[in-house]
Structure formats: structure tokens, C-alpha cells
Amino acid sequence: MSFFKKLKEKFVKNPETDEENKSHTSDEPLDEAQEEETQQLEGETAVDESVEEESSVEDEPSLQEEDPVEVKDAEEQSDDPLDTDDEDEQEEDTEESREEEDTEEEKESIAFKFKKGLAKTRNSFSSKINDLVARYRTVDEDFFEELEEVLISADVGVTTVMEMIEELEMEVKRRNVQDPQKVKEIISEKLVDIYYGDDDAGEVEGLKENPDGLTIYLFVGVNGVGKTTTIGKLAHRLKSEGKNVTLAAGDTFRAGAIEQLDEWGKRVGVNVTKHSEGSDPAAVIYDGIQSAKSKKADVLICDTAGRLQNKVNLMNELSKVKRVIEREAPGAPHEVLLVLDATTGQNAMSQAKIFSEATDVSGIVLSKLDGTAKGGIVLAIRNELDIPVKLVGLGEKVTDLETFDAHAFVYGLFADMIEDYEDEEKPS
């Protein structure tokens, strides 16, 4: 079966398959109280900002000079992978107005979330692909060269792009494709193949859980990437799945960080273990584990600092925190999740390398995918670092966190073409 047709059947609204399309974050219907809570949370980003403002004290020793809240432009980044200098990347969000027309049920679907979250990437990537395909009559070397540039400009990463182009060329030859229009579909198929690589199971990889008791997730990442926000979103999601969740405020360095996590705890309705600012983070995590055990919690999520006096201290601190978790809860942490800001482009790759050395990162959370036109970074991360992307942040709302699904991702990139697919197929 054609790949677009497969994706269309899987993701485009169809009453018969609607059940399967439900978002990973909303498997359980929210009850009335939770729904109210969610609505409240969704309107509360302002609180976050005030906490962040409080935190950006000028004379703090810092790996970052500017406000961590702002979304960064990939082209403006510095060479230092741990320096998260930010630059605003505001684009008009045309999806926002269209959102009004969609029903609540549609908004819950994984397809809708990826389509909306990837709007910027799709608008840029698809239009470039369409333009390319329209300019060429046959699929030749120049065509592939231009395609290479399009992929690189979407942050797919040079190594991954080279690999992909090579496979595309082979596939095009094998299927004897002459028409550039048809190449679009092969591109989409190869994007999924590249993501999974040799791992041909191609299944969505959720977070690991401890079937026999407490599950511990450790969040790491440089400042401003979205650790605390993701923890809040994840706590909300796990709680709405009926789990008993608790948090530990391991960022004792940044002013306002403890309050920010505490605020999330209150909003989501979960317990937070915290000590005072400047205290030993390993001790906070230790207490968090004891508290989670005594409360028979299902999940403990640990926040950590994004910056310290210097990088070496940060990496040492994270290693120490991890050792405490390993000692106090054998088998834990069940995930060490490195949060990377998708808008930082290739810099995210360098961060992944540095953090992996200190903490054995088991999965990536790619935040702010909604804020970039270069969502191709997902493929580069998985293909070049061989770390699975477990979760993606597709917006600032508490419900804007999704389990990464490569097929849904590709659907998000080619949504318009996939939705129109049947029309092209119809006999003339």
C-alpha cells in the first residue's frame, strides 16, 4: 500500500478508526473536575513567566546571559553547547485561528497535536519540497542536490541527510520513479525509516516503568530548555492516568526554581519534596525518594538545575544525584530524560553528547517543537546519537506533551499532502 495512504488511514479523521487516533496524553477521559483544572492550567502561563522573571537575577553566575524563557533562533546560536543564549523566533501562527473550527474530540487526537505543533516546520519544509518538485521534470542529480539543501535547512543534520539522500537515490532507482511528484511520498517514507534505523520494529517508545513499585524519572538539561515545564506536563498526564505522582525540587541553585516546581505541584495537584535554596540537591532527591516510598507513590519525577557556577560542577552534581537514586532505589532511575530545546538546532546535539557522558541519558524530550521551523532535528538526534526521542513538547499548555511517534511526526510534516492524497489517486 502507498505510504501516504497508510498514514492517511492511520491519522486522518475517520469515524471508524477514531478510537485509535486518540492522543497518547488523553487515553483517559478527564472527569469534570480535571477538565476544569486543565482549562485553568492552560490559561496560566502568565504565572510561569512571573516565576521566570524572578529567577533571572542579573548577578547570578551563569552559562546563559539572557532570559531563558524566550525561544531561540537556531542561526543565532553561540558555539558553546551549554550556552543557551536566546533569541525570539515569533512567527504568525496561522494554525491558531483554524483551531477554533476543530471539535474538542479532534483536538485530542495525536494527529491534530502533531499537525498543529509542527505547523512552522511543515509550512517551511513542505513549501520548499513542493517548490522543488514543481521545478524539476525528472529526478536527476541536481534534484537530489537541492533536496539535500532543503533537508539540511530543516536541521536534519548533514550526516543524516547524506544517508537519507543515498537511500532515496537507491529507492528511486529501484522503483524506477521518474516523476518528482512521486518522490515526495518516498521522502516521507524514508524519514520514518531513518528515524528507526536498523530497529525495524518501528514502534512508539514510551517511558519505561517499574512494574513492581516506584518509577523514578530524572530530568536533566541546560537552563531554559523546558525541564520544569515538561515535568509539570508529565505529572499532569500521569496523574490523569490514575498514577500517584510526586516531584522533587532538585534545582536548588537558580533563584525561584523551587517555587516554580512547587507552583506546578499545586496546579497539577501532586506533592513536591523541597529544601531551601542553595541546599544539596542530592539530599533533596534522597528525601524525595524516602517520601515517595512512604507515600507508596507510583512515580517520582526529579527536577535538576540547568546551570551551576560552571559546567564541571553541573555534571558532577548530576552524576551525584544519579548515584543517590541508584543507591536508594535499585533499578532506578528508569529514565534519565535529557530535555533539548528544538529551537536551538544543532547546538542541541552537542548538549546531548555532554550530558550523555555525565548521566547515561536514556531518552530525549524535545521541547518547543512548535516554536521552530526546523523540526528535522528529531531525526538527527535519533540517527546520530542513537538516543530515542521519547517525548515532544508541542506547545506551552499543560496538555501539549506527546509521546514521540515517528509516523505521527511525518504526518505532521506532510499533513496537507496526505489529506489530499485520495484526490491524486482517483482515476481521471
Ligand X SMILES: Nc1nc2c(ncn2[C@@H]2O[C@H](COP(=O)(O)OP(=O)(O)OP(=O)(O)O)[C@@H](O)[C@H]2O)c(=O)[nH]1
Distance CA 226, CA 11 (A): 28
224 binds, among Mg ion, ligand X, none (CB under 5 to 8 A by kind): ligand X
Member of 37, 83, 251, 335 binding ligand X (CB under 6 A): 251
Cell 517555587 sits at which residue?
259
Interaction residues for ligand X, span 393-422 (CB under 6 A): 393-396, 400
Q: Is the peptide bond before 15 cis (omega within 30 degrees of 0)?
A: no
Is 225 near ligand X (CB under 6 A)? yes
| Min dist. Cβ of residue 360 to ligand X (A) | 19
Identify which of residues 22 and 397 has a Cβ nearer to Mg ion in the complex: 397
| Min dist. Cβ of residue 176 to ligand X (A) | 42
Cell 521534470 sits at which residue?
137
Interaction residues for ligand X, span 60-79 (CB under 6 A): 68-69
Member of 10, 116, 227, 407 binding Mg ion (CB under 5 A): 227
- Give the closest residue to 364 by CA, choosing from 384, 344, 335: 335
Q: Is the peptide bond before 333 cis (omega within 30 degrees of 0)?
A: yes
Please answer whether residues 388 and 409 qualify as being in contact, where contact means their C-beta atoms are separated by less than 8 angstroms. no
| Min dist. Cβ of residue 359 to ligand X (A) | 15
Is 180 near ligand X (CB under 6 A)? no
Is 30 near ligand X (CB under 6 A)? no
Distance CA 45, CA 15 (A): 34
223 binds, among Mg ion, ligand X, none (CB under 5 to 8 A by kind): ligand X
| Min dist. Cβ of residue 251 to Mg ion (A) | 5
Is 376 near ligand X (CB under 6 A)? no
Is 88 near ligand X (CB under 6 A)? no
Distance CA 287, CA 278 (A): 16
Identify which of residues 151 and 340 has a Cβ nearer to ligand X in the complex: 340
Q: Residue ranges of the alpha helices (H) in 157-310?
A: 158-174, 180-196, 227-240, 257-268, 281-294
Identify which of residues 333 and 395 has a Cβ nearer to ligand X in the complex: 395
Strand partners, 174: none
Is 307 near Mg ion (CB under 5 A)? no
Which DSSP letter does residue 101 get? T
Is 228 near Mg ion (CB under 5 A)? yes
Identify which of residues 121 and 228 has a Cβ nearer to Mg ion in the complex: 228
Inter-axis angle of helices 311-328 and 281-294, nearest 10? 30
* Residue 50 Cα distances to 254, 256, 259, angstroms: 14, 10, 11
Member of 8, 322, 368, 374 binding ligand X (CB under 6 A): 368
330: buried, middle or exposed (CB in 10 Å: 19+, 13-18, 0-12)?
Answer: exposed
Binding mask 320-359 for ligand X (x = CB under 6 A): -------------------x--------------------
b/e sequence 338-372, b meaning 16+ C-beta within 10 Å? bbbbbbbbebbbebbebbbebbebbbbbbbbbbbb
What residue type is 244 in one-letter code? N
Is 265 near ligand X (CB under 6 A)? no
235 binds, among Mg ion, ligand X, none (CB under 5 to 8 A by kind): none
Write out the residues near ligand X by the rule CB under 6 A. 45, 48, 52, 68-69, 221, 223-229, 251, 254, 257, 306, 339, 367-368, 370-371, 393-396, 400
Interacting residues toward Mg ion by CB under 5 A: 227-228
